Amino acid sequence: MTYGDNGNMSARERPGMRVAVAGGTGLVGRYVVEELTAAGQQPVVLARSRGVDLVTGVGLDAALAGVDAVVDVSNVTTTGERKAVAFFDSVSRNLLDAGERAGVSHHVLLSIVGINRVGLGYYQGKLRQEDVVKSGRTPWTVLRATQFHEFAEQTLDRVPKPLAVVPRMRTQPVAAREVAQHLVQLVLSPAQGMAPELAGPRVEQVVDMVGRLLRARHQRRVLLPVKMPGAAGAAMAGDGLLPVGPGPRGSQTFESWLAQHAVQGG
């Protein structure tokens, strides 16, 4: 067992840390909870189903009592800038304020690669979220990750059958579980500010990902590739959402994920 300069155990070796997971019932949140439990930590799920409203702050103080760190993977389903900014601003301020009152020592935020280069409304909300966290008094870590493998089916779910309208978009998708594993490593380590960007092993075209998903599920839908207008569309179709510089890379390819998950929702 090792100790820091102040004689205390490092966060990674502290037994049974209480780690709050904002959005702990969502896609990545569920994996974060599982990974924390497997690592011998004590996850605390922050969600409406657990009596916590992140937008209003109701229930936060009670839920964060005795919590050492927070992982924020909360999300809102919208493409509009106003709604995204309002949600992420409120959630982050509430989490940071309540966390400060509770003595939280580390705030970890999951963000998205390329949001500073692609001017979508949702990404403006994530940028606001990052700014709020950076301006807070709690030591923080922000992890930007690329889209998950599940992005292909999420894209399908937004469009009613028989159409499948898909944006022309290049990404380097990563497994949601691998994102969760990385978030757990970060939250159990000292705060580091902007962490190196996390991405998957291969660059993919989202149109191709959706087409392969449809074929794997034996679904017949009219696939309509669409290039988003303006500078944002050009950035999405180009390298705007790809990682810049070195950083951790997941090992599961989209093809491997598809082999495991294609039957679901088919």
Mean pLDDT by 10 residues, the chain (266 residues): 34 71 97 97 97 97 98 93 97 98 98 96 97 98 97 86 91 97 98 98 96 91 91 95 95 95 58
What architecture does CATH give domain 11-261? 3-Layer(aba) Sandwich (3.40)
User: CA 125, CA 86: separation in Å to the nearest integer?
Assistant: 7
pTM (2 d.p.) = 0.90
List Cβ<8 Å contacts ≥24 apart for 185-188.
186/108, 186/141, 186/143, 187/11, 187/19, 187/69, 187/71, 187/106, 187/108, 187/141, 188/11, 188/12, 188/17, 188/39, 188/41, 188/69
pLDDT of residue 78: 87
Taken as a whole, the chain contains a residue count of 266
Phi, psi of 171 (to 5 degrees): -145, 170
Identify whether the C-beta of residue 139 lies closer than 8 Å to the C-beta of residue 168.
no
Q: Which residues are registered as beta bridge partners of 143?
A: 110
pLDDT of residue 15: 58
pLDDT of residue 156: 85
pLDDT of residue 16: 83
The DSSP bridge pattern shows strands 204-205 and 170-171 to be antiparallel
Angle at 249 between CA 247 and CA 252, to 5 degrees: 170
- Pick the closest to residue 9 from 166, 190, 144, 140 (CA basis): 190
Identify whether the C-beta of residue 72 lies closer than 8 Å to the C-beta of residue 109.
yes
Q: At what angle do helices 81-102 and 121-135 cross, to 10 degrees?
A: 20
HSE-up of residue 131 (Cα within 13 Å, Cβ side): 12
User: CA 260, CA 109: separation in Å to the nearest integer?
Assistant: 28
Q: In terms of DSSP H, where are the helices of the chain?
A: 27-38, 60-63, 81-102, 121-135, 151-157, 176-187, 206-216, 230-237, 254-261
